[in-house]
Structure formats: C-alpha cells, structure tokens
C-alpha cells in the first residue's frame, strides 16, 4: 500500500465506527503517522439506522464521509479497503489493496450479525447491522405492499403484510414502534386499495422482558407502549427455524415473508490473532486495551472484551462505550509519546434510552428513570447532538419536525429491488411430484 514512510511511529486503525472515529480525532498526529482503514468511505450512525429502514430518514442523514471529518489533519491517511488478516509476527496488515506494516495497530472493527448457527435464519432473515441492510429492509417492506396489491391469494397477502421481528432489544423495539407508526399514519394513505388493518407486527423475545439491558420500569413501560400501538409482543418465546415463509417457535408458528433479525451480534474479529486472545467472539483486552498475548495491538469498542469486576462479561456493545474507549486510548498513546504511563479505562455510564414512537420513549439515567413525552424529547435531543456535524443535525431535525407536524415520512422509496432467497421446497410437494411421475 502506498503510504509515505516518515520519521514517526505508524498507527494503523481498522474501522471508522464510534471507536475508530473518536480515536483518530483525538490522536496527536504530530507524534504519530495515522493510517485509517475502513471498507466503507463513510462513518455510520447505527442508532438511527432503524429510521432508514422504516422510511423515516434518508440514508445520507445518518452517514458521514470519513475524508471530510479529517480534512487537513497532518500525517493522516485514509484508505478504503477491507482488512483480510493481520500478521503480528511481522507487524503487518493484509488488505484487499495490499500490505501495510504498522508500529501500533488499533482494531475497532465493531460487530457482525450472529445467527447462532441457524443456517436457515441466515439465509432468509433480514438483518439490520449495516446501512446496506437497512436500505434493503426499507425496499423489501415497501415491495411487500406493492406485491400485496397484486395478489389474489389472501394467505399470500397476509404473509406479505406480517412482519416478525426477532429480538426485543432497543433495535427490535424501536423498529417495531416505527412499523406501527407506518401502519397507523402512512400506509393507509399510500395504499388505499389495501386493508392495512390486516398488517401485523410481531416482536419475539426469548427472555421474559423487552429491553433486557434496561430497568424494570423501562421494560414494563415500553412493553405497554408497544401493545398500545398494536404490536404483538411474544415474551419467553424461542424461535427455532424460518424457511422464508413460516417462523417456527416453541409457542405458535407465524406466517411471514419478512423476518427481521435483531437478536444477536458478535465481535467482528480480524483473523490473525492467537486463539487465546479471542473469547466468546470478542477480543480479550486489559484495562489499557492491549490485546491478550500481543504487543502493540489494541482493540476497542464492540469487538473488544475488557472484563472488569463490574463488567464480568465486558462492557455492553454500545456507541457510548466505543466512543469513550476511542478517546481514551488516543489520550493514552499521546501520553506514551511523552513518556508518561497509560491510564486504565473507566466507563462513564451516562444512561440508556430507547424510543417506541411519537411522544413515547424510556430513559434510565442512574437512579433517575422516566418515560413518555419528556423522555421522547430527551431521546431526540441526545441523538441529534451525537450526530457528526451540524448539517446532519439540521437535516434530521427538519425531517423529524416535518414528520411530527404532518404525520408524514418523506423517503418511501424502493431504490433497488431486493430478491428474496427461495424457500426450501416442502416435502409434501416433492412427494406429490413423485406421485405424478
């Protein structure tokens, strides 16, 4: 890879999510040469991705060009490339556009979907872990209604208008709420020839509550809000299989052409680390983010597992954790360059929140817990402020204000047609075919 060799130690950063972005902003590039690698040329604000999927926001409101963030930063280079593996023995990163030696390596590659070995689920479900997947989901939701208009089969129509979300964490709950709003305010106007009352939204959760990582208060309130909005909430329900048409659970089977998978993620670990450094699909790090058994390699954010007394399974996979870690490691390496010690990381938990819909949200801030309209304003304010720049904030704010005042959403576009994987042929049909022969 063609990066100039200069008389400064080189830090290679893989991934420009919340961790990589904050790290690169805060690292002193007078003391280090910084090379940032990402397979995309943009940073994604994942917490608002469900709004892209549900036609609430256009994609470019929640992504930001990486080159624009770092315009003018000295000794800084960005290359759009996918890292294939690393070779710690020769301190080199291997990528789709060539090899790159490093002095320090920062792995901030985030997380990927985890289907827990369910091959059928992986084949037929729609996940929402990247911008492309969110856009696919938006297209398929709208394609369903276009197709529902043109089918004479009641069963097929219902299957197209049923949406099953697996996982009642923040993503599942927020998406279910957004779909319920589409059903109430938007779809009846867009599809007057369809009986939109037939549309059903199901959320399936294996544990006994929604928003499992939040307080009991938040869990109860959000379940109540969802039910009030007409969402069917299935708690203590395990999904066993999905063939593209039928969701098999340990309670009832549901017919749907659209199963949305929000039930699991795993660290996006780049190949090349010692096996002992990877536990439970995340990279084991100490309090200075150093990867177990490796020198000069650090891991941050979702991919890293820093086990502490108060976080025995590592920190939660949250944007705030990743962002704080990125900033903290940069400050540590800046200290190291001045001959000072690196300091241990302490996570400042500023609270957790989720929105369910118009005027409805839940907020946990330490001992303070609230829900409803005020929580919804707090949720909007925090998310607006977390966006990368003023332009994005303004665009999102105007979109939200428009939607709120006009009961409308502006981006109901099928920008590309998404093809479903063909469901496996059913055994009965195969038998019937044999009999015909």
Residues within the interface to ligand FAD (CB under 6 A): 14-20, 37-40, 46-47, 49-50, 82-83, 108-111, 128-129, 170-171, 268, 270, 301-302, 317-320, 322
Residue of this chain nearest to ligand FAD (CB atom):
17
Nearest to 18 by CA among 232, 317, 287: 317
Q: Spell out the residues 6+ positions from residue 197 whose beta carbon is closer than 8 angstroms to its own.
A: none
Q: How far is CA 65 from CA 13, 57, 116, 191, 318, in A?
A: 17, 17, 33, 36, 22
CA 235 vs. chain centroid, Å, equals 22
* CA pair distance 428, 253, nearest whole angstrom: 18
Nearer to ligand FAD, 141 or 317 (CB): 317
Beta bridge partners of 363: 353, 370
Query: Long-range contacts of range 149-152, CB-CB < 8 Å, 24 or more positions apart?
Result: 149/191, 149/193, 149/194
Looking at the Cβ atoms of 170 and 263, the one nearer to ligand FAD is 170
- CA torsion 95→97→103→106, rounded to 10°? -50
SS3 335: helix
Do β-strands 162-166 and 200-204 pair in parallel, antiparallel, or remain unpaired? parallel
3-state secondary structure of 84: strand
Q: Report in angstroms how near the CB of residue 275 gets to ligand FAD at its nearest.
A: 19
* Nearer to ligand FAD (CB atom), residue 194 or residue 361: 361
How near is the Cβ of 204 to ligand FAD at its closest, in Å?
17
Q: How far is the CB of 253 from ligand FAD (least distance, A)?
A: 27
Spatial strand order in the sheet of 126-127: 126-127, 258-261, 162-166, 200-204, 232-234
Q: How far apart are CB 268 and ligand FAD at their closest, in Å?
A: 5
295 burial type by CB count under 10 A (0-12 exposed, 13-18 middle, 19+ buried)? exposed
Residue among 171 and 403 whose Cβ is closer to ligand FAD: 171
Q: How far is the CB of 41 from ligand FAD (least distance, A)?
A: 10
**Residue 66 is encoded by which pair of tokens?**
């990486």
- Smallest separation, CB 191 to ligand FAD (Å): 26
Closest to ligand FAD by CB, 132 or 413: 132
CB of 55 to ligand FAD, least distance (A): 15
Of residues 14 and 361, the one with the C-beta less far from ligand FAD: 14
- Helix (H) or strand (E) run with residue 309 in it: none
Give every strand in the sheet of 239-242, ordered side by side: 239-242, 246-249, 254-255
Residue placing its CB nearer to ligand FAD in the complex, 148 or 170: 170
CB closer to ligand FAD out of 144 and 327 = 327
Select 181 or 302, whichever has its Cβ closest to ligand FAD.
302
Q: Report the alpha-carbon distance of residue 51 to residue 199 in Å, rounded.
A: 19
Shortest gap between Cβ of 232 and ligand FAD (angstroms)?
21
> Alpha-carbon dihedral of residues 255, 256, 257, 261, nearest 10 degrees?
-130
What's the closest the beta carbon of residue 406 comes to ligand FAD, in angstroms? 25
CB of 418 to ligand FAD, least distance (A): 18
Contact 237, 265 (CB under 8 A): no
161 or 170: whose CB is closer to ligand FAD?
170
Shortest Å distance, C-beta 119 to ligand FAD: 22
CA distance 30 to 322: 24
Nearest to ligand FAD of 229, 329 (CB atom): 329
Structure tokens at 289: 């983010």
């Amino acid at each position: 890879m063609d990066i100039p060799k200069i008389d400064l130690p080189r830090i290679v950063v893989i991934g420009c999510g919340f961790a990589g972005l904050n790290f690169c902003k805060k690292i002193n590039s007078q003391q280090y040469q910084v090379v940032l690698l990402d397979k995309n040329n943009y940073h994604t604000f994942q917490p608002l991705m469900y709004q892209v999927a549900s036609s609430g926001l256009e994609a470019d409101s929640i992504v930001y060009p990486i080159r624009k963030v770092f315009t003018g930063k000295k000794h800084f280079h960005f290359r759009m490339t996918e890292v294939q593996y690393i070779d710690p023995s020769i301190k080199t990163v291997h990528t789709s556009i060539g090899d790159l030696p490093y002095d320090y390596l920062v792995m901030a590659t985030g997380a990927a979907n985890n289907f827990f070995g369910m091959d059928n689920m992986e084949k037929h479900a729609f996940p929402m872990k990247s911008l492309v997947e969110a856009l696919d989901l938006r297209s398929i939701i709208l394609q369903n209604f276009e197709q529902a208009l043109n089918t004479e089969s009641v069963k097929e129509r219902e299957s197209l208008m049923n949406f099953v979300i697996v996982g009642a964490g923040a993503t599942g709950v927020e998406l279910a709420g957004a779909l319920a709003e589409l059903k109430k305010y938007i779809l009846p106007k867009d599809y007057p020839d369809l009986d939109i009352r037939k549309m059903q939204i199901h959320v399936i959760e294996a544990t006994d509550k929604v928003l499992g990582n939040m307080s009991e208060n938040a869990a109860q309130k959000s379940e109540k809000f969802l039910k009030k909005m007409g969402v069917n909430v299935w708690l203590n329900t395990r999904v066993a299989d999905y063939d593209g048409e039928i969701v098999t659970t340990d309670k009832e089977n549901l017919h749907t052409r659209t199963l949305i998978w929000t039930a699991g993620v795993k660290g996006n670990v780049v190949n090349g680390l010692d096996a002992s450094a990877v536990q439970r699909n995340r990279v084991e790090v100490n309090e200075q983010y150093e990867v177990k058994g490796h020198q000069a390699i650090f891991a941050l954010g979702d991919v890293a597992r820093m086990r502490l007394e108060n976080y025995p399974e590592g920190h939660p996979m949250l944007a705030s954790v990743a962002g704080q870690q990125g900033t903290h490691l940069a400050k540590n390496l800046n200290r190291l360059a001045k001959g000072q010690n690196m300091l241990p990381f302490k996570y400042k938990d500023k609270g957790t929140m989720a929105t369910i819909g118009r005027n409805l949200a839940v907020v946990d801030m330490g001992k303070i817990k609230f829900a409803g309209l005020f929580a919804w304003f707090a949720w909007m304010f925090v998310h607006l402020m977390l966006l990368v720049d003023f332009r994005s904030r303004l665009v999102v704010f105007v979109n939200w204000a428009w939607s709120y005042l006009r009961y409308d959403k502006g981006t109901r576009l099928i920008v590309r047609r998404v093809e479903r994987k063909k469901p496996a042929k059913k055994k009965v049909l195969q038998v019937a075919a044999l009999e015909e022969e």
